Structure 1
Amino acid sequence: MFYVSDIKEKAPNSYKTPLQEMVYETLTKLEISFERVETDEAISMEDCIEINKKLNMNMVKTLFLCNSQKNKFYLFVTTAEKPFKSKDFSKVLNISRVSFAPQELMQNILGVKIGAATVFGVLNDKENLVEIVLDQDVLLEEWYGCSDGTTTGYMKVKTEWIVTKFLPYTKHMPNVIKI
């Protein structure tokens, strides 16, 4: 059985990664409230079903992508149920075909490992290398469910606050697309 803790409204007492600590410090600084849970390690969207039930929201799917030269990066946030098709994504943005960025680049640029990709990773992107691309369907949801930068911590934040408070703070204005 997949473990999901009771809901918490405060930051953890200790942090597993530097990014996780930055996430909670930033949310506090920006006065963005959240609910969070601690879980067994969640890697797949299937693992998120119990998290969704506990937090009463739908987890987003966050993909870290790059071009073949590995010099253009995209953090694509879409709804969990949508399949990702590189061809469609590239066509909408009018760019050459993209693929999943290597784990090493994800760690170096966003500060996360596979399974923990999150919009909060742009806190580590001081050089603004990453373009945030939001599926417009994500903006239709009241709640934004995502990782806190780990594969064992998940949170629920108002989608509006991600777009109007958090992303402007990080100087990453999203490109909203319809896929």
Structure 2
Amino acid sequence: MFYTSEIKETAPLQFKTPLQEKVYTSLHKLDIPFQRVDTDDAISMEDCIEINRKLNMKMVKTLFLCNRQQSVFYLFVTTGDKPFSSKAFSNALGAARLSFAPEALLNSMLGTSIGAATVYSVLLDRENKVQVVFDEEVASEEWYGCSDGTTTGYMKVKTTHIIHDFLEYASHKPTVIQV
């Protein structure tokens, strides 16, 4: 059985990564309320079903993408149940064909491992190398469900707080596309 804790509205007592600490410090500084749960390792969208149920929202899927030269980077936030089409994404942005960024870049640029990609990683992107792109379906949802930068911590935040308050604070203006 997949473990999901009771809902909490405070940061963890101990942080597992520097990114996770930055996430909760930033949310506190911005006075953005959240609900969160601790879980077993959740790597796939199937693992998120119980998390969705517990927090009464839909977890987003966050993909880290790049061009062939690994010089242009995107953090694409879409619905958990939507299959990713590189062609549709590239066409919507008017960009060259993109693919998944290598795991080493996920770790070095975004401070996360596979399964923990999160919009909060832009806190580590001081040079604004990563463009944040939202699927319009996610942007129109009331609640935003995502990882806190680990594979064992998941949270629920108002989508407007993410798009307007958090991303402005992190100096990343999101693009919203239809795919």
- Normalising by structure 1, we get a TM-score of 0.99
The residue type equivalent to 1:129 in the other structure is K
The residue type equivalent to 2:81 in the other structure is E
In 2, the alpha carbon distance for the partners of 1:174 and 1:164 equals 9
Give 5+ residue unaligned stretches, structure 1: none
Shift of 1:157: 0.2
Shift of 1:167: 0.3
Shift of 1:47: 0.2
In 2, the alpha carbon distance for the partners of 1:105 and 1:3 equals 30
In 1, the alpha carbon distance for the partners of 2:34 and 2:178 equals 27
Aligned to 2:172: 172
Aligned to 2:120: 120
In 2, the alpha carbon distance for the partners of 1:70 and 1:105 equals 9
In 2, the alpha carbon distance for the partners of 1:105 and 1:80 equals 22
1:111-137 per-position Cα deviation (integer Å, ceiling 9, x unaligned):
000000000000000010000000010
Aligned to 1:133: 133
Shift of 1:92: 0.8
Aligned to 2:37: 37
**Identity within the alignment, %:** 65
The residue type equivalent to 1:156 in the other structure is K
In 2, the alpha carbon distance for the partners of 1:135 and 1:70 equals 22
Shift of 1:140: 1.6
Corresponding residue SS for 1:54 = helix
Matches within 5 A, 1:9-158: 9-158=9-158
1:71-94 per-position Cα deviation (integer Å, ceiling 9, x unaligned):
100000011111100011011111
The residue type equivalent to 1:71 in the other structure is S
In 2, the alpha carbon distance for the partners of 1:150 and 1:106 equals 13
Corresponding residue SS for 2:46 = coil
Corresponding residue SS for 1:37 = strand
Where do 4+ consecutive residues of structure 1 move more than 2 Å?
none
Superposed CA RMSD in Å reads 0.4
In 2, the alpha carbon distance for the partners of 1:161 and 1:154 equals 16
Aligned residues: 179
Shift of 1:171: 0.7
The residue type equivalent to 1:82 in the other structure is K
